[in-house]
Amino acid sequence: METTLTGLDGPLTGFAETHREQTERFPVREPAWQPVHTVYVPADKVTAATVSEWRHAATDLLHRHLFTPADLAALFECDPDLAQPVHDRVRRKLSVEPIEDLRIDFEDGYGQRPPEEEDGHAESAAAAVAAMREAGTLPRRWGLRVKSFADGDPHRSIRTLDGFLTTVIRRAGELPPGFTVTFPKVLMEAYLGQFARCLEALEASLPLEPGTLRFEMQVEAPQTVLLLQRSADLVPSLGGRLAAAHFGVFDYTASLGLPPHEQRLDHPACDHARHVMQTALAGSGVELCDGSLAAAPASDSAADVRALLRRHAALVRHSLSHGFHQGWDMHPSHLISRFATVYAFHLARYEDYVERVHAWEERTRAAGGVLDEPATVKTLVAALARADRALG
């Protein structure tokens, strides 16, 4: 082929550095396992039996209100052909792993306590973690949520984290795998860097390998959404410590002035915040997690339990349709609607996705004449990998 340029060294000056920066900011990673939920339990309520208690409560609800696959199909608008495999998977999941991610809450779910009381609960919660580790019931991911620096007392936040980690390591002999810490109410970008430096100092003093302690930031204020929009260097500036971003629906909607009956996960204002999170963190390797339904069944009656399960399932479907595959669960009943909705979501499309990937590989049309682009096929492959991990 005949060309006319004699060299590109001049026009492409700086390319190597730019490409290196690209690979650091947007690393190509194999899809990793991500929990489908995070269960939040106040620190004063956590015991070595917490996981077992949630398992028993959820299983009891399933047996009393969704005993058959037909019951499940009717309640969750599930394809009747999928009802049996979904029901089987929910029963098995509750038996072997009812909680994938446990967060021990020292913030809003815990409240303000005298210093000595919070110290005591940090120690008792750590003892519960060590006992769960010994019993083999500690979830694959676990950790705590500390108080916000926005409250004006970072020393309280770090003291709780320090005491908790120190006690866990002393009792368990090591820091069990899967640990993370949730950092709430990020109103100032500087708080993130300060918290990251505190984690680095804790690693040195405990001691732990550098990079062991990672954290999740909560997006629960308009200021945090604006921070994500304007800060292109946020993730690299934290040195790999930012593991996830969790959306906080109630603080966010309240801070916007929405009336209480509109403070819900499927409000358009929440969709906007989620889309900003996706845009700002795309390709960075930072996981995304949606918020919660802060409600339990109004009573033990079948009507109230079913109403709660139906409402929660609708919110989980909304999250999944927006690309958020993880959310908060606040009550044992949520485990049923969470797992059932996630399983139905993945099973409903699995065979279609497989057929489309095979068609693309063979350079043929998929069903319906679909001709997928490479970017779509990449997404299909990722969706199948996520489904395989979720369906177990």
Segments making up each domain of the chain, as ranges: 31-345
The residue with greater pLDDT, 214 or 30, is 214
In terms of phi and psi (left: phi > 0; alpha: psi -120 to 50; beta: otherwise), the region of 231 is: beta
pLDDT tens digits, one per residue of 339-373: 999 999 999 998 988 988 888 787 776 666 666 67
CB 184 within 8 A of CB 148: yes
Percentage with pLDDT > 90 across the chain: 79
pLDDT at res. 171: 97
pLDDT at res. 368: 64
pLDDT at res. 102: 98
For the record, the structure tokens of 264 come out as 């819900």
Average pLDDT, the chain: 93
Residue 268 to residue 276: CA distance in whole angstroms: 13
Tell me which CATH code domain 31-345 carries: 3.20.20.360
Q: Decide if pLDDT at 28 tops 70.
A: no
pLDDT at res. 1: 86
pLDDT tens digits, one per residue of 265-296: 999 999 999 999 999 999 899 999 999 999 99
pLDDT tens digits, one per residue of 221-271: 999 999 999 987 899 999 999 999 999 999 999 999 999 999 999 999 999
Residue 78 to residue 80: CA distance in whole angstroms: 6
Q: Decide if pLDDT at 110 tops 90.
A: yes
pLDDT at res. 369: 63
pTM over 0.75: yes
Report residue 35's pLDDT band, with 50, 70 and 90 as the boundaries.
Answer: very high
- Residue bearing tokens 């919110």: 315
pLDDT tens digits, one per residue of 57-103: 999 999 999 999 999 999 998 899 999 999 999 999 999 999 999 99
The residue with greater pLDDT, 36 or 232, is 36
Instruction: Look at residues 219, 213, 125, 216 and name the one whose alpha carbon lies nearest to residue 172.
Output: 125
Residue 292 to residue 310: CA distance in whole angstroms: 14
pLDDT at res. 367: 64
Mean pLDDT to the nearest integer, 306-329: 97
pLDDT at res. 105: 98
